[in-house]
Amino acid sequence: MFEKLIELIAQGWERVAPFVVVHPYEQGIILRFGKYHSSKEAGFHWKWPFADEVIQITTCLTTLRLPPQTLTTSDDVQVVVSAIIKYEIRDPEPFVTKIYDQVDVLADITMGAIRNSVVSLSYEELVKAPPEQMIIKEVRKYVNQFGFKIEAITFTDIGRVRSIRLIQPNGINLTN
């Protein structure tokens, strides 16, 4: 109960404070009455209490580990592919105002590009030369408009697997 009270007071202070401090690894987006007003670099900035909402975005280089994907190559070999995306935010305005759940957007677009590349290659081609550069180009084509800057996409694991999927029609338990 006491923690909730402190949290409420802290949130209230953020709304009425006439200033904001943006950290060196961030940029601030000022929304005035709900509309984009300006972007702020690191440092001390004045704001209008109640009118301005400041959204602080981490813009420095960061990584995102994608979940493993089970895919089938063009020669009908089942593989599991894992990847990491290294990115930063170069333009926080579209990052905040054009998309919702930004990390999911980046992950979904990248996983789609990985799928498109892997299914077009044979297993031998995939292992010999993973299509990372082709995937980077495809991902950049979509996410640059949302303020992302993709530094690298790296396959961390490519494994040949045998996939078995159990289907339970009408809720029937197949193990009994």
User: Which tops the pLDDT comparison, 141 or 3?
Assistant: 141
Q: What is the pLDDT of residue 173?
A: 55
pLDDT tens digit sequence for 33-85: 999 999 999 999 999 988 999 999 999 999 999 999 999 999 999 999 999 99
Domains of the chain, residue spans: 2-58, 62-160
In the predicted structure, residue 117 carries a pLDDT above the cut 70 = yes
In order, the DSSP letters of the chain are -HHHHHHHHHHHHHHH-SEEEE-TTEEEEEEETTEEEEEE-SEEEE--TTTEEEEEEE-S-EEEEPPPEEEE-TTS-EEEEEEEEEEEES-HHHHHHT-SSHHHHHHHHHHHHHHHHHHTS-HHHHHHS--HHHHHHHHHHHHGGGTEEEEEEEEEEEEE--------GGG--TT-
The label of the residue with tokens 């305005």 reads 93
Phi, psi of 127 (to 5 degrees): -75, -40
pLDDT tens digit sequence for 125-166: 999 999 999 999 999 999 999 999 999 999 999 998 887 666
CB 149 within 8 A of CB 69: no
CB 74 within 8 A of CB 119: yes
Q: What is the pLDDT of residue 175?
A: 52
Q: Which CATH superfamily is domain 62-160 in?
A: Band 7 domain (3.30.479.30)
In the predicted structure, residue 4 carries a pLDDT above the cut 90 = no
